[in-house]
Amino acid sequence: MFTVCCHEFTSLRNLTLVMFMSALQLSQAEIPRNVFGTRIRQT
């Protein structure tokens, strides 16, 4: 885990993805509805 985080830390986009995926795992019900729902509405 830590090795991957340190390696991914070199790329801000990867780090953002890691945090985003972690947020999804923490709240699979609320976050997807808010994020994807907002993006779908904007699109």
Select the more confidently predicted residue: 2 or 39. Answer: 39
4 pLDDT exceeds 70? no
Q: Is the whole-model pTM more than 0.85?
A: no
Give the residue with greater pLDDT, 35 vs 19: 19
Rounded CA gap, 16 and 5, in Å?
Answer: 11
C-alpha angle with apex 38: 19 to 15, nearest 5 degrees? 15
pLDDT single digits (tens) 14-33: 778 887 888 777 766 555 55
Q: Which tokens in the block code for residue 14?
A: 């990867």
Half-sphere exposure of 13 (CA within 13 A, CB side): 0
Domain that holds residue 12: 2-42
Contact by Cβ (8 Å): 43, 35: no
Domain count, the chain: 1
Q: CA-CA distance, 32 to 20, in Å (whole number)?
A: 10
